A and B are shown apart, each in its own frame.
Chain A
């Protein structure tokens, strides 16, 4: 089966997932991102790498942070950015996804940044572009269903490398609702590819996917056990709609058992970093004392996110 995100010569044609991407490409993206972090500190925050290119941010699902950082990244590369919030539901008999895309292609799109509530939607788009001979248009997955959020995974790797330098001596814990999390899947794929020797997932059985250990992780249900001696704690957002019902009884109980408090964090290494993809639910998955404390690197994550997205876009544009 042809890997839809690689071109025939093994180069990145689209960024759809981190799973199955070779370590060399992951490292290359992180390396390219490094100098871009300085662009944000300049007086003129612009590079001409995407000048004359049109980047369409097509968001079928709401987002503030991801869409904004993609927009900033594209603008810093001098691209023309068009934002579209297409609110659709799977049941509404409106324009189909591919019709929408064909229309945007007709407007001269060079790159799509797409978020969609259905896992695999960007694959459909990439396959459609290939099938219709529009290989020059690239697709960046900005989050699809529960499947993947590759740029988030990459910016998390950038953050870890920034603070920890080396992946091959780390213990990393991913905590919370792994089942519904595209972020977790991308993080796990990247961590295992980059050679992290121990990746742990921590959460209740109702929020861990079936056969999760097959992704190369060690499973913990007891948070205190799972946090012992870790170098990196990656918290996941707990969606509001999951907090009551058949998966979890209440947000209070969740916080009590799996919320990251200073006491629980004390079990990790003293220099452990705490990450969160945002938006945070303070008092649900993370205590404010931790979110605002000295171990948290949550705001640097956002800043690095721009550089990483610039790196991805410039690579896809052929630079």
Chain B
């Protein structure tokens, strides 16, 4: 099927393009921009007048809950959420049940995802068997099965010798290692250790839970030479460590979750379990530092950290509530809101959820609209606003601290490899 997307403002950060022009798609690929190739006859014309035509979003962290937690979400439900959110490529963390530590599990996940034919799914394999931090996984075979990186999700490693060995082994092949900076003991609280947690009597997670783990991870990256990516930074102090490591020549990337760009521990309010997240929402000064660093490119990308949680697990006191929030459908609106508040050009804003994220994930055919690229496209109205409601979310997880917020950016069309998945 040949598709012509006409009259839209095409923003493709990877190719530094921001212009009103047409996009031509054939056989699942972008075949031309601007003027039609010779003999191109569109089967369908999508009028994108007044809309932005961007690469489909690339999300560095979206839990699909398969295998093992299908009562929280399924591939079917979460793929629908991805399409509604304009997300066409996503990395899923290994904290499924069982963890993504066997090639067979990864193959099954990729197979299920391909059959649904929605977003491209890129599994992050477990760095250690069962995420237990004891035994290395078969990283070569897992890579063959489809893993793009290896990590521990939210389960920190206790034994730094194993961490060093795992990094050495991954570095042998040039595999990426994605780590969440969390000290296994200091992260056992439920909220940022500060004024709010003290007042509410919630067990604190000090900033040192992030910085101590991060210092170790950076040091081991230096000595092992592994390609390290730090996921979901939460503090200004953590950011400083990344800055210093880079100044010393270390090649390290990092991301932040969309929640942490907008919320702080004050948003816990009267114990709202919706704000129980990992890492915890930190102080306002941390949030300001993260926002500025993402604008300046010191933080490479923003992810949804999509974590569908069922209602029973949230209708409990704060500390007992399962951490996490739904996010796939909020990634674009929250990123747009941040970009507008930081007064950034739209192409810079979008780069953080397209080109920059694709670079970290190591994918070349997605995250941009160059000729020859996969025709993964997100068309959205940047001026329209939408109020976030439970009923309006396609994800099986209805829990987000942004319920009731009016957020900018309404996705009208999502294309995956030239197939119109939303807006058909």
Contact = CB atoms under 8 A, between A and B. Distances in A.
Interface stretch (A42-50, A120-128, A220-228): A120-128
B201 A96 contact: no
A4 B315 CA distance: 16
A211 B194 contact: yes
A121 B270 CA distance: 10
A159 B386 CA distance: 54
A98 B315 contact: yes
B195 A119 contact: no
Contacts of B392: none
B202 A119 contact: yes
A116 interface: yes
Nearest to B273: A124
Interface string A281-309: 00000000000000000000000000000
B319 interface: yes
B312 interface: yes
Interface residues of A, number: 30
Contacts of A121: 317
A211 B195 CA distance: 5
A119 B198 contact: no
Interface in A26-56: none
B198 A118 contact: no
Interface string A1-38: 10110000000000000010000000000000000000
Given A96-B316, A210-B193, A211-B194, A119 B199 contact: no
A229 interface: no
B195, B201, B203, B206: most-surrounded residue (chain A CB, <10 A): B201
A20 to B, nearest CB: 10
A120 B318 contact: yes
Contacts of A90: 319-320
Interface string A222-266: 000000000000000000000000000000000000000000000
B199 A124 contact: no
Contact of A119 (B206, B316, B318): B318
Nearest to B197: A210
B318 A214 contact: no
B204 interface: yes
B316 A97 contact: yes
A197 interface: no
Contacts of A164: none
Given A118-B318, A119-B318, A124-B315, A148 B198 contact: no
Contact of B201 (A3, A148, A210): A148
Contact of A145 (B198, B199, B201, B312): B201
A97 B315 CA distance: 9
A123 B271 contact: yes
A279 interface: no
A98 B195 CA distance: 29
Nearest to A118: B317
Interface string B186-217: 00000001110111111110100000000000
B269 interface: yes
A306 B202 CA distance: 29
A210 to B, nearest CB: 5
B229 to A, nearest CB: 30
A67 to B, nearest CB: 20
Nearest to B191: A119
B205 to A, nearest CB: 11
Name the residue in A98, A123, A124 with the highest tally of chain B Cβ atoms < 10 Å from its Cβ.
Answer: A124
B198 A212 contact: yes
A3 B270 CA distance: 8
A124 B270 CA distance: 9
A293 to B, nearest CB: 32
A215 B198 contact: yes
B270 A123 contact: yes
Interface string B312-351: 1001111110000000000000000000000000000000
Interface of B: 193-195, 197-204, 206, 269-271, 273, 312, 315-320
29 contacts: A1-B269, A96-B316, A116-B317, A118-B316, A119-B200, A119-B202, A119-B271, A119-B317, A119-B319, A120-B200, A120-B201, A120-B270, A120-B271, A120-B317, A123-B271, A124-B316, A144-B201, A145-B317, A145-B319, A146-B203, A147-B201, A147-B202, A182-B201, A209-B198, A210-B194, A210-B198, A210-B206, A214-B195, A215-B199
**The 10 nearest A-B residue pairs measured at CB:** A120-B271, A146-B201, A147-B201, A118-B317, A209-B198, A119-B201, A121-B317, A211-B195, A90-B320, A214-B195
Given A19-B199, A124-B273, 19 more contacts: A4-B270, A90-B319, A96-B316, A116-B317, A118-B316, A119-B202, A119-B319, A120-B319, A121-B317, A124-B271, A124-B315, A145-B201, A145-B202, A145-B317, A147-B202, A211-B194, A211-B195, A211-B198, A214-B198
